[in-house]
């Protein structure tokens, strides 16, 4: 219960990345069975991509299920992820796709030449890169002039039910603060992109509060901050959380959890 310790704004970058790699790596084997809303978001992002092209890169590819979709449309596809556990699963699930290569790499230090890709795709990964300018700068660099990127990024309208319910239990910050949509768009413009942006809300429904917490933790995206992790998560604390969550948000005995997602279609000027 006390493992998650991830808050992109509170920890050193190295520590944060080690934790992300470990947690997502540990979740890799069950990820595809659990991460349904991430799949929905990813497919919505894929629809914004150019229909075809020569080369594409998927950043934070996880188990590679969206990367394999790119492989139908591009001649050469690369998928990178910080978590070696994710890359292992992606390689094992590769099947007959022979135009995809997976490797462990960091979105903030991409191991590719500049101007190499026609297209960059990334779904639900770059919210872990704060400040976001470094990773967006890398996306800009690896794209060819005229190349396009589609990014889906969790923004600060997310997990509000959890945040508000924890706030009724105590004042310890326990849920990540992601960047706002405006900050993400500004980061993309500063990187040099021509930006089209949109936001979309997704809501998942859960039978109880433990299921809400598990839906986030089991995919590897633990959301407790450093401070929050040091506070004990006793049965009593969880009961208080459940009471706050259920009294405020339950609809027909089901609990909602909101994901607010920034969709960016970026073009690198020629
Ligand atoms: C929620 S998963 C999304 C996976 C996949 N894109 C999908 O939508 O199914 C987030 C992924 O981002 C990866 N990630 C987080 N920070 C990263 C970074 N700095 N560089 C590369 N990958 C990163 C994690 O390891 C994890 O696999």
Q: For 223-261, what is each residue's pLDDT tens digit?
A: 444 444 555 678 899 999 999 999 999 999 999 999 999
Q: What pLDDT does residue 173 have?
A: 79
**What pLDDT score does 210 carry?**
92
- With bands split at pLDDT 50, 70 and 90, how would you rate the model's confidence at 218? confident
| Residue identifier of the C-alpha nearest atom 26 of ligand 1 | 62
Residue that wins the pLDDT comparison between 200 and 216:
200
Q: 26 and 221 in contact (C-beta within 8 Å)?
A: no
Domain 13-267 is in which class? alpha beta
Where exactly are the structural domains of the chain? 13-267
* Residue 163: C-alpha distances to residues 167, 169, 171, 177 (Å): 6, 10, 10, 9
pLDDT digits (tens, 9 = 90+) for 72-101: 999 999 999 999 999 999 999 877 778 999
Q: How far apart are CA 86 and CA 88, in angstroms?
A: 5
CA of 35, closest atom in ligand 1: 9
Give the pLDDT score at 240: 95
52 vs 213, residue with greater confidence: 213
More confident of the two residues 15 and 166: 166
Q: At residue 5, does pLDDT exceed 80?
A: no
Cβ-based neighbour number of residue 163 at 10 Å: 16
Residue 234 makes CB contacts below 8 A (sequence gap 6+) with: none
Residue 12 has pLDDT above 90, yes or no: no
Q: Strand ranges (DSSP E) for 125-221?
A: 143-154, 194-206
Averaged confidence pLDDT in the chain = 90
241 lines ligand 1 (CB under 6 A): no
- Alpha-carbon distance of 256 to 160, in angstroms, equals 10
Q: Which of 6, 70, 125, 216 to mutate to test the pocket of ligand 1 (most atoms within 8 A of CB)?
A: 125
Q: Is 156 in the pocket of ligand 1 (CB under 6 A)?
A: no
Give per-residue pLDDT as tens, 20-59. Answer: 899 999 999 999 999 999 999 999 999 999 878 899 999 9
Q: Residue 232 has what pLDDT? A: 65
Work out the percent of the chain whose per-residue pLDDT is above 70: 91
């Amino acid at each position: 219960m006390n493992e998650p310790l991830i808050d992109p704004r509170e920890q050193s970058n190295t520590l944060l990345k080690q934790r992300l790699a470990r947690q997502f790596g540990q979740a890799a084997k069950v990820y595809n069975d659990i991460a349904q809303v991430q799949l929905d978001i990813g497919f919505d992002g894929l629809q914004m991509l150019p229909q075809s092209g020569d080369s594409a890169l998927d950043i934070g590819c996880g188990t590679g299920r969206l990367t394999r979709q790119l492989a139908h449309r591009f001649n050469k596809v690369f998928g990178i992820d910080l978590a070696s556990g994710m890359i292992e699963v992606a390689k094992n699930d590769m099947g007959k796709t022979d135009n995809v290569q997976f490797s462990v790499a960091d979105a903030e230090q991409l191991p590719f030449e500049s101007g190499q890709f026609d297209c960059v795709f990334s779904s639900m990964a770059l919210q872990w890169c704060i400040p976001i300018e470094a990773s967006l700068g890398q996306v800009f660099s690896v794209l060819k002039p005229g190349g396009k990127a589609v990014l889906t990024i969790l923004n600060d309208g997310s997990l509000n039910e959890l945040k508000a319910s924890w706030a009724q239990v105590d004042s310890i910050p326990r849920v990540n603060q992601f960047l706002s949509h405006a900050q993400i768009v500004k980061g993309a413009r500063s990187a040099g992109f021509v930006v089209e942006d949109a936001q979309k809300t997704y809501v998942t429904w859960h039978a109880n509060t433990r299921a809400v917490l598990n839906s986030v933790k089991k995919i590897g995206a633990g959301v407790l901050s450093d401070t929050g992790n040091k506070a004990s998560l006793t049965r009593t604390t969880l009961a208080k959380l459940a009471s706050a969550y259920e009294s405020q948000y339950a609809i027909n005995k089901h609990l909602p959890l909101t994901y607010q997602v920034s969709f960016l279609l970026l073009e690198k000027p020629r």
